[in-house]
C-alpha cells in the first residue's frame, strides 16, 4: 500500500506543477475564445487531480486487503506487461528513425500478437487501416507535424503527408 500512496503523491505533485505551468499561458485576446489558452489544460489537470484523489481514497479504504500491487500479479501477466512496455518503448525510439507512418504500421501489426491474435490477414488489414487513418487524421486534417524518419523513410513520408 505504501508504494502506491507514494506514487499517487508524486503523480499529484507532477499534476500540480502542470497546473501551475498551464495557468501561466498567455491569453490570446480573442473575444470568441471563452476558455483562453489555459482553459483546456486546466480542465485536464483538474480532472487528473480528481481521478487521483478518487484512486487514493479507494486505496486508503481498501487498505492492505486490496492486494493490487505488481508483486501479486501472476508471472505471465507481468511478462506480458513488460513485453508491451518494451514494444511501446521501441515504437517511440523508432518514430524518429522510421517515421510515424512506418513505425505505427509495425506497432499496430506486432502489438496485438502479444495478446494472442494470430490471424495475419486481419492483423495486416488492421495495421494498414489504422496507420492510414492516424496519418490522415493527424497529419492531413489537423496538420500535426508527425515524425518523418530519416533517409528513404523521410522521402517516402513526403508522398504520404
| Maximum CA extent, the chain | 56
Q: What percent of the chain has pLDDT over 70?
A: 89
Asked whether the CA dihedral 126, 131, 132, 137 is positive or negative, the reply is positive
pLDDT for 33: 67
How large is the average pLDDT for residues 24-28?
A: 81
Give dist(CA 29, CA 36) in Å, integer. Answer: 8
* Other CB atoms within 10 A of residue 13 CB: 10
How large is the average pLDDT for residues 72-98?
A: 88
What average pLDDT is seen over the chain? Answer: 88
* Residue entry with cell 511478462: 79
Q: Say if CB 2 and CB 49 are below 8 A apart.
A: no
Question: Residue ranges of the domains in the chain?
Answer: 2-66, 78-160
Q: Say if CB 131 and CB 101 are below 8 A apart.
A: yes
How large is the average pLDDT for residues 41-55?
A: 94
Amino acid at each position: 500500500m505504501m508504494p502506491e500512496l507514494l506514487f499517487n503523491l508524486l503523480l499529484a505533485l507532477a499534476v500540480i506543477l502542470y497546473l501551475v505551468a498551464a495557468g501561466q499561458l498567455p491569453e490570446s485576446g480573442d473575444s470568441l475564445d471563452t476558455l483562453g489558452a489555459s482553459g483546456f489544460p486546466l480542465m485536464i489537470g483538474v480532472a487528473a487531480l480528481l481521478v487521483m484523489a478518487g484512486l487514493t481514497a479507494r486505496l486508503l479504504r481498501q487498505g492492505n486487503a486490496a492486494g493490487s500491487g505488481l508483486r501479486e500479479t501472476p508471472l505471465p501477466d507481468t511478462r506480458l506487461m513488460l513485453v508491451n512496455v518494451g514494444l511501446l518503448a521501441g515504437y517511440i525510439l523508432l518514430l524518429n528513425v522510421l517515421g510515424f507512418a512506418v513505425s505505427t504500421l509495425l506497432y499496430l501489426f506486432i502489438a496485438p500478437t502479444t495478446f494472442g491474435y494470430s490471424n495475419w490477414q486481419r492483423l495486416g488489414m488492421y495495421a494498414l487501416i489504422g496507420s492510414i487513418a492516424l496519418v490522415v487524421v493527424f497529419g492531413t486534417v489537423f496538420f500535426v507535424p508527425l515524425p518523418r524518419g530519416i533517409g528513404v523513410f523521410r522521402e517516402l513520408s513526403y508522398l504520404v503527408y
